[in-house]
Structure 1
Amino acid sequence: MNKQLKPLKKVLLLVVHCTATKCNRPFSVENLIACGEAKYGQCSYHYYVRRDGEVIPLLPETVQGVHARHYNYCSLGIVYEGGLNEKGQAYDTRTEAQKHALYELLKELTGEYPQARIVGHCELPHVAKDCPCYRPSCEYANLQPKC
């Protein structure tokens, strides 16, 4: 990476994404990183959750990702492997291992950043994508900051 990484100002959002890859085809860490580097000059996300539930840290939490336009300066990006069914249609393809790993990761992150709201990419204003193919703000309601 030859791009200068920008510092993350404050974590106000935990944005959940999917890789938008078919659930029956593996998507390697190297491929994920290469896609971000090709498009943005750097890795896009802070954490990658594989189908087997393995959580892979990608970017330090102190630098901006490039995963949610207009929100990168104040958010961490978490992406799970999948998001498309075998026919290539948007679908919640999370395995039980991914569901558990995502919950535990988000629980840990909300402990570190108690003011951060959990949202799906599709739940941000002006986003016309299905990503991550479910509603994290609802699924993780018990982890959301109290008003």
Structure 2
Amino acid sequence: MREIDMIIIHCSASRCDRDYTFEALDNDHRSRGWNGCGYHYYVTKDGEIHMGRKEETVGAHAGKKFNPHSIGICYEGGLNARGQPEDTRTEAQKRTLTKLISSMKKRYPMAQVLGHRDLPGVHKDCPCYDVRKELSERS
């Protein structure tokens, strides 16, 4: 059993006006030579959760330093219709992410929840919203 101390939230960096299905994500990750989707969970615009990797399996989402002890959750979107970083989560995604993160925190109470951009050395906008701020506002 892996020891999990981080739950890392990502966006797919796909445009909000285009669909990026779980199957497309999985195929893209396989084309990189990975063993399927690098995230453990993927939340599509309709709020549906798709299982990527099993939680017992190391993900491919945050680099070799963080993958062994983290869970990766990704939502579909993160870019506006012009291709610029933006919080494009639908209400359904927000509800699902809240429930999923809450469930993860029950299973991994010591894990910190943060956005990909919050990791040291990451120079991306992903997940295009302030995860820690949003969580603190809901507490």
Q: TM-score range by the shorter chain?
A: over 0.9
Query: Aligned runs of 1:24-43 on 2, under 5 Å?
Result: 24-42=17-35, 43=37
Q: Return the letter of the residue paired with 2:51.
A: P
Q: Return the letter of the residue paired with 1:46.
A: H
Identity of aligned residues (%): 42
- 74, 80, 105: which one pairs with 1:110? 105
Q: Is contact 1:11–1:76 with CA below 8 Å preserved after alignment?
A: yes
The reply on whether 1:16 has 2:9 as its aligned counterpart is yes
Query: 1:138 offset after TM fit, Å?
Result: 1.7
Query: Aligned runs of 1:49-60 on 2, under 5 Å?
Result: 49-60=43-54
Secondary structure in structure 2 of the residue aligned to 1:127: coil
Alignment-derived partner of residue 93 in structure 1: 88
Q: What does the per-residue CA deviation read over 1:23-67, in whole Å, with 9 as the maximum and x for residues that have no partner?
A: 000001111111222224222100000101111111110000100
CA distance in 1, matches of 2:136, 2:110: 13
Alignment-derived partner of residue 39 in structure 2: 45
TM-score, normalised to structure 1, is 0.88
CA distance in 1, matches of 2:106, 2:33: 30
Give aligned pairs, total: 137
Runs of 4+ in 1 over 4 A off after TM superposition: none
In structure 2, the gaps of 5 or more residues are none
Query: 1:141 offset after TM fit, Å?
Result: 2.6
CA distance in 1, matches of 2:60, 2:79: 21
Assess, with a 3 A threshold, how the Cα gap between structure 1 residues 136 and 14 changes in structure 2: closer, same or farther: same
- 75, 78, 82: which one pairs with 2:77? 82
In structure 1, the gaps of 5 or more residues are 1-7
Assess, with a 3 A threshold, how the Cα gap between structure 1 residues 40 and 74 changes in structure 2: closer, same or farther: farther
TM-score, normalised to structure 2, is 0.93
CA distance in 2, matches of 1:133, 1:27: 17
